[in-house]
Amino acid sequence: MLLIAALRQVLSPDVCKFYVTDCKDNVFFVNTQKSTEGMALSADNCCPMLHKHLFGKAPYRLDIGHQRHPSTMRICSIPKVLVILHRIRKHRMKPIIILAIESSCDDTSAAVIRDGILLSNVTASQRVHEEYGGVVPELASRAHQQNVLPVVDTALKRAGVDKSEISAIGFTRGPGLLGSLLVGTSFAKGLALSLGIPLVEVNHLQGHVLAHFVSEGKADERHPEFPFLCLLVSGGNSQIVLVRAWNDMQIIGQTIDDAAGEAFDKCAKVMGLPYPGGPWIDRLAKEGNPERFQFSKPNLQGYDYSFSGLKTSFLYFLRDNLRENPDFIEKNKADLCASLQKTVVDILMKKLRKAAKDLGINHVAVAGGVSANSALREAFVNYGKRYRAEVYIPPFSYTTDNAAMIAQAAYFKYQAGEFCPIDAVPFARTEL
């Protein structure tokens, strides 16, 4: 009984999420769940993990394939349990090091996190799409293939970490461009297989939300308290997410047509600005008058967004004015950008405020590529002051696609023992 207690202690969930589930005739049953009843564990996920954690690559003596519970490990005899205890204690001293890979769109990124502290975050952006006015999927996949090895190599070097020290590989499984995701997923699988370590899949959108928990080990860091609302705004998404825990997120409102970033990019295109247009609009808006022009705002019930009406009204407004004055855009570019930007920010903040008020939530965060927008960031600061709310605005480096957020999400999952099989395939679309 004492041994059971000792085993239970060293196998506590915050260490590696293994539980001593039973003991009969000096046979100890260790599992990844508290109860063995009615569970269907994949031997793929569980057993290699147990091997790795407890024995390294050469298991001491492990019976896998217990009849009732195929992934339950049987540890026979008390001396062996003592050996195992010793090994687990040694393992506890080892840091958790995760290498994460992000390749969902047109940024190849790799990051290394050790015991929850980010050590490196390296991103190679793809310029090749600029001349096409949007991301070309096939070109993106090819660029990922060229970038992934040097990016991962640099991330490991900057972190001062050797491949042999990595505990697990985190990767973005989706949503995103399938070809791009395939490159990152295949690389992650190959590396995990060759190193004999587990894989952790990450949902890209969850990653954006969890970017708020990335820690660089600085004293003045703030992280949101649960529950909080996260406004997730990127080129493909505009959502209000209710975040109850790192693994409990619910979309309570989202765009029914274009995303906020898409609206920025499309309006920028009709003004002749390069792709992606969002940052250009942001830059030009700094010199303009946000009150000069009025554009239509949607009138939707609930917490949903719509940006296609704004895009169309902007387009018609330009067309009408260009008829009378062919230099209209050139002469009014800064005011056009400032007014458009103000409209987008007003739309976003209005629904967020409504959701926060209705749900009585005082902690609000913003995430995704559009969270780099200076007017939106300012609106969040003002929101905090006006409503005495706690607001969380990510550092610029964690706004656009990055592997730091994937590493953070993978770190949470690793601690919870959530691994993914080696035959996992990426998916282009998925909810949170």
The binding site for ligand KG4 (CB under 6 A) comprises 105, 234-236, 261, 264-265, 276-279, 282, 368-370, 372-373, 400-401
| Peptide bond before residue 224 is cis, with ω within 30 degrees of 0 | no
Least CB distance to ligand KG4 at residue 65 (A)? 44
- The bridge status of strand 168-174 relative to strand 97-102 is parallel
Least CB distance to ligand KG4 at residue 277 (A)? 6
Measured from the CB atom, is 16 or 140 closer to ligand KG4? 140
Cβ density class 407-429: b for 16+ within 10 Å, e for less: bbbbbbbbbebbbbeeeeebeee
Measured from the CB atom, is 17 or 351 closer to ligand KG4? 351
CA angle in degrees (0–180, nearest 5) for 352-358-363? 55
Least CB distance to ligand KG4 at residue 276 (A)? 4
Least CB distance to ligand KG4 at residue 207 (A)? 10
CB 197 within 8 A of CB 57: no
Measured from the CB atom, is 107 or 201 closer to ligand KG4? 107
Measured from the CB atom, is 253 or 276 closer to ligand KG4? 276
Least CB distance to ligand KG4 at residue 138 (A)? 16
Least CB distance to ligand KG4 at residue 387 (A)? 23
Q: Which amino acid is at 93?
A: M
The full DSSP string for 339-389 is: HHHHHHHHHHHHHHHHHHHHHT--EEEEESGGGG-HHHHHHHHHHHHHHT-
Measured from the CB atom, is 355 or 366 closer to ligand KG4? 366
Upper half-sphere CA count for residue 320 (Cβ side, 13 Å) = 6
Euclidean distance between CA atoms 340 and 293, whole angstroms: 8
Q: Which residues contact 352 (CB under 8 A, 6 or more apart)?
A: 229, 231, 240, 364, 383
Measured from the CB atom, is 137 or 227 closer to ligand KG4? 137
Least CB distance to ligand KG4 at residue 258 (A)? 10
Least CB distance to ligand KG4 at residue 264 (A)? 5
Q: Which amino acid is at 244?
A: R
The full DSSP string for 76-124 is: ESHHHHHHHHHHHHHHHHS--EEEEEE-SSSEEEEEEEETTEEEEEEEE
Phi and psi, residue 37, nearest 5° = -75, 135
Measuring CA to CA, which residue among 376, 345, 310, 305 is closest to residue 318?
310
Euclidean distance between CA atoms 109 and 106, whole angstroms: 10
Euclidean distance between CA atoms 384 and 378, whole angstroms: 10
Least CB distance to ligand KG4 at residue 281 (A)? 6
CB 370 within 8 A of CB 264: yes
Phi and psi, residue 299, nearest 5° = -130, 65
Measured from the CB atom, is 335 or 401 closer to ligand KG4? 401
Measured from the CB atom, is 120 or 237 closer to ligand KG4? 237
Measured from the CB atom, is 234 or 239 closer to ligand KG4? 234
Least CB distance to ligand KG4 at residue 104 (A)? 7
Least CB distance to ligand KG4 at residue 350 (A)? 18
Beta bridge partners of 250: 242
Measured from the CB atom, is 167 or 237 closer to ligand KG4? 237
Q: Which residues contact 156 (CB under 8 A, 6 or more apart)?
A: 99, 110, 112, 120, 162, 163
Measured from each CB, the residue nearest to ligand KG4 is 369
Give the single-character DSSP code of 288: S
Measured from the CB atom, is 156 or 259 closer to ligand KG4? 259
